[in-house]
Amino acid sequence: MEEILALAKKVAEEAEVYTVSSEETPVQFESNRLKNTQYKQSQTVALRIIKNGKTGYATSTSMENARELVDDAVATAEFGTKAEFQFPLEQNYAQVAVFDSAVEKVTLEQMTQLGEELIARITAYSPEILCEAGVTKANYKLNIINSRGGQASFRQSVFVMGIEGQLIRGTDMLFVGDHDSSCHPILKTDELVRTTLRQLELAKRLAKVTTKPMPVIFAPDGVISSLVLPLMSAFNGKTVLEGASPIGNRLGESVFDKTLTMSDDPTIPFKTGSRPCDDEAVPCQRTPIIQNGVVSNFLYDLQTAARAKKKSTGNGQRQGGLPAPSPHAFVISSGKSGFDEMVKSIDEGLIVEQLLGAGQGNTLGGDFSGNILLGFKIEKGEIVGRVKDTMISGNVYQLLKEITAIGNDSKWVGGFLFTPSICCSNVSVASR
Amino acid sequence: MTDLQTIGQELAQILKRQNADYIEAHLEEGQFSSISYRGKQLESISKTSSIGGNVRALVKGGWGFVSFNDLNNLQEKVALAVKQASFVGKEVSQLAESEPIVETVKAKIKENPLLIPLSEKKQLLDEYNESIWSTSGIQTSNLGYGDGHKKTAFLNSRGSFITQERTDVTLRAVAVAAKDGEVQQAGLSEGSRDDFSPIRKLHKAIKELSQRAVDMLTVPTVAGGQYTVVLDPILAGVFVHEAFGHLSESDFVYENERMKEIMVLGKVFGGPHLNIVDSASRPGLRGSFKYDDEGTPATKTYLIREGKLAGRLHSLETAVKMNEKPTGNARAINYRHPPIVRMTNTYIEPGSSSFEDMIAYIKEGVYAKNWYGGQTSMEMFTFSSGETYMIRNGKLAEMVRPVMLSGNVFNTLMNIDAIGNDLDMNQGGGCGKGGQSPLPVSNGSPHIRIRQCLVGGK
């Protein structure tokens, strides 16, 4: 790394070298049986330079071609965008614990046993179900150094366990399942089994749905597959700077229901979205973005913050290219309602757990639409069965203005979102 | 530079000495560049080079897979893959026979994007971006250009050693219009294989999409419900990919007795005018190749012929387990993943209807054009349009906001009651499956009409 930095400094005013290396070991089950085990080693080195005030960028999977990497970065800097930020100086980072050496020590045999146990417990309940399961351990190592003396490095361990069951009756296909992730080993299958069996139980009967607006409870998985994607772009400092965020000029205003509070929080220990610093060596922080319905902050990286005359919130993340603002882990504050209580309060409505097709369409404007992959019908305060061939659509800015209840049943979804169930009053539903 | 040929020869020797039922390796090197714009400014420009490989071993029915960037100690990596496979394997390996093939396949590059200077690419993107911004009412724009050249080597324990290369170019352009807190967007995706020139021809399309984004601010949203829907070739291509293409991937079927009952050859899925094909052997498209990632030659496979299930897509493993022939559909997005069953170029064959005939007797319907995305869970699928109009009394009527359409494979295909004569292939798509996205594919169709299609809306 030092060699690349030294070479780059000869031809550019400023430079930053970023490396990430990873080892992942997935164990995969298909059709209720162990199918394969894998070991994936990967590494990337990225060089960002500022030459004549402009940004150049090149990446490689090899540390050995320093000269080529520098040449590539110089070639792009000629056309690069004006660098309006400075690399961070050396500084202290808050301790965010995201590494547990116990993850690496989990053996293939243990991982296999976990997968077998998951499948055995689910097929015991429903002998005809076919399951895919995955148990993965991984570790990541990140290093950043820059020409102003700034540096950062940390290791993260990740353990992921998931199951998806498919139950076919005639031509009807039902998909159930759950997954969990942590920086600690997950050595118990109870939680995933409990959720999956509950889904199977509720899905035993089919219920009819009529085309009309009705209240919908978005269960935690439903919140991520329906409501969160539009908010990711709306709170992105870059979208705001461009004037393309519907809430960009409403900082400090009440835009959402006053029961809604949400933050980006990468500082919770041992969560897979947590980390001490971002991909530009800026310390991570908890950033409140909605407080009691009021828009309170947007998320920034160094360059976007400089252009918007703000400070980086430590949200610079690289998805294969230059750092750009991106949330680490959204946390929606829990409410007071029990899930059953929410269900009881509804005369006719739906529960949405999985939505197919979210993220297509005008997410920037807050629109979402999708086919309910897993969801249930509520009639007179009772869950009466699973719904099919049914679409919901709406606009998150309208829906989240009229929240009727927020649950006390928060859970982590996909390692990225900690959310309770959210009940909205008037969602458009179309069915065959 | 490291030489794939030399490393390949070394690996070939190692593979011969292993105690496995089957073993294969992939090596890959690539150079990529990307340019993106957000708003009026160039946002980022970058160059990437990558080299890596993998080894996949089969022992007693169990698979092991090791991928790496570090090309040292290949012997150890091969041994680890075999060890993993032995850990998993408790049955008898079943894998279709394949001929050993030794061949170097050269790409037929028409206009090589890698030889075009960055300044020229930037000039073109500047023109496109200015075109978007010259439209009144535009709030921001988004352009993403990428090109890449990949050289791959495939070798296996049966003696195959195949090197292939490909060049891919993609451009995504999005225009965003905003007014009074409303935001609307319109976009296009173009892709090309081994040829930069299609990327040069988008001036008119980009001008149109900018105006469309602005127009969409003031048009109504369709009421949700069931409609007679006419799809243009681009969206119908997305439809055929989502609605049926994924269901014909045999890895969903080969170890699933219930699925086998549903997907029995000869089963009627549509009317006698419906023919669906997947063909990697159709040259020059983004899903085209000579050999798949298991070294199987590309084929043309009828998935549906005259409305009946006629075939499906196979890897070496799924083919032998279903007692069918391999179709050359085992593909991996790159060396970090094992090959899985994927589509290539998927399309509905043309029929005889003209567009005018198709809409002539529709009292109230929806004409959905262009695509935004699509997703499937096999039985259910969704796909969304980029541009939408109402059809009223047999004529195209007012523009409405883009819609999401949804269906159920067991009745929606049956509801296709007219197929046009104007097949067109869409090169701008990428497909995601099993964490591998976006895989270059193309899909296409003529205009089609679907009765009783579920449309999401107000």
Asked whether residue A320 carries a pLDDT value surpassing 90, the answer given is no
A322-341 CB burial, b ≥16 within 10 A, e <16: bbbbbbbbbbbbbbebebee
Inter-chain contact A357–B374, Cβ cutoff 8 Å?
yes
Residue A370 shares a structural domain with residue A346: yes
| pLDDT tens per residue across all 458 residues of chain B | 468 899 999 999 999 888 999 999 999 999 999 999 999 989 999 999 999 999 999 999 999 999 999 999 999 999 999 999 999 999 999 999 999 999 999 988 999 999 999 999 999 999 999 999 999 999 999 999 999 999 999 999 999 999 999 999 999 999 999 998 888 999 999 999 999 999 999 999 999 999 999 999 999 999 999 999 999 999 999 999 998 999 999 999 999 999 999 999 999 999 999 999 999 999 999 999 999 999 999 999 999 999 999 999 999 999 999 999 999 999 999 999 999 999 999 999 999 999 999 999 999 999 999 988 888 888 999 999 999 999 999 999 999 999 999 999 989 999 999 999 999 999 988 899 988 999 999 999 999 999 999 998 87
Domain stop point among B216, B241, B262: B216
Does residue A382 have a pLDDT over 60? yes
- Domain final residue pick, B164, B183, B216: B216
Residue A94 lies in a domain: yes
B256–A41 CB contact, under 8 Å: no
Chain A, window 203-242: residues with a beta carbon less than 8 angstroms from a chain B beta carbon: 211, 238, 241-242
Query: Which chain A residue's Cα is nearest to B258?
Result: A168
Please indicate, yes or no, whether residues B187 and B287 belong to a single structural domain of this protein. no
Of the three residues A159, A182, A200, the one that is the final residue of a domain is A200
A42, A22 contact by CB (below 8 A): yes
Last residue of a domain, one of B216, B249, B280: B216
When CB atoms are compared, the residue of B88, B256, B404 closest to A360 is B404
| Number of folded domains that form chain B | 2
Q: Smallest CA–CA separation between A420 and chain B, in Å?
A: 26
- Name the β-bridge partners of A424: A216, A403
Which residue is listed with tokens 């530009």?
Answer: A280
Residue A392's alpha-carbon distances to A42, A83, A355, B226, in angstroms, are 41, 44, 9, 13
Residue B2: its pLDDT value, please? 61
Same domain, residue pair A209 and A155:
no
Coil/strand/helix, residue A131: strand
Whole domain around residue A11: which residue ranges?
2-200
Question: Could you count the other beta carbons within 10 Å of the beta carbon of residue A198?
Answer: 12
String of DSSP letters for A225-252: HHTHHHHHHHTBHHHHHTT--TTTT-TT
Q: What is the number of structural domains in chain A?
A: 2
Q: Using the beta-carbon criterion (under 8 Å), do A81 and B44 form an inter-chain contact?
A: yes
| DSSP-H helix ranges across A18-152 | 66-77, 102-105, 108-125
Do residues A132 and A222 both lie within one domain?
A: no
Largest CA distance in chain A: 73
- In a domain, residue A210? The reply is yes
For residue B211, the surrounding DSSP H or E stretch is helix B203-216
Look at residue A283 and tell me if it is in a domain. Answer: no
The answer to whether residues B144 and B161 belong to one domain is yes
The residues pairing with A168 across neighbouring beta strands, listed in sequence order, are A173
**pLDDT tens profile A135-144:** 999 999 999 9
Most B CBs within 10 Å, among A24, A27, A391, A427, to test the B interface: A391
Select from A200, A217, A236 the last residue of a domain: A200
Same domain, A211 and A181: no
Q: Regarding predicted confidence, which is higher, A284 or A95?
A: A284
DSSP letter at B378 equals S
Regarding whether A155 and A13 lie in a shared domain, the answer is yes
User: What is the chain A residue with the closest CA to B68?
Assistant: A41
A262 domain-assigned: no
B284 in the same domain as B190: no
Same domain, yes or no, for B316 and B381? Answer: yes
**Model pTM score:** 0.95
Considering the domain architecture, whether residues B321 and B435 belong to the same structural domain is answered as yes
Q: Which residues of B touch A243 (CB under 8 A)?
A: 139-140, 178
Give B375 to chain A, closest Cα distance, Å: 5
Domain range spanning residue B135? 4-216
| A26 and A160 together in one domain | yes
pLDDT at B1: 45
CATH code of the domain containing B92: 3.30.2290.10
- Given a cut of 50, whether residue A164 has pLDDT beyond it is yes
Residue A94 pLDDT exceeds 90 = no
Residues A196 and A209 in one domain: no
Whether residues B154 and B231 share a domain: the answer is no
pLDDT surpassing 90 at residue A381:
yes
CA A52 to chain centroid, in Å, comes to 37
What is the DSSP code string of A308-343? Answer: HT----S-EE-SSSS-EE--S-EEEPP-SB-HHHHH
At residue A108, what are phi and psi to the nearest 5 degrees?
-55, -35
Residues A128 and A224 in one domain: no
Whether the predicted interface score ipTM is above 0.90? yes
Residues A13 and A134 in one domain: yes
Residue A220 and residue A109 share a domain = no
Do A91 and A112 sit in the same domain of this protein? yes
Rounded to whole angstroms, the Cα distance separating A354 from A175 reads 10
Report the candidate in A88, A127, A109 with the shortest Cα–Cα distance to residue A34: A109
Q: Give the angle subtended at the CA of A184 by the CAs of A183 and A187, to the nearest 5°.
A: 135
User: For chain A, what percent of residues have pLDDT higher than 70?
Assistant: 100
Give a yes or no: residue A366 inside a domain: yes
Residue A334 in contact with partner chain B when CB distance is under 8 A: no
Do B136 and B33 have their domain in common? yes
Does the pLDDT at position A328 exceed 50? yes
Question: What CATH number does residue A78 fall under?
Answer: 3.30.2290.10
Whether A171 and chain B come into contact, CB under 8 Å, resolves to yes
A19 found inside a domain: yes
Kindly state whether residues A196 and A208 are assigned to the same domain: no
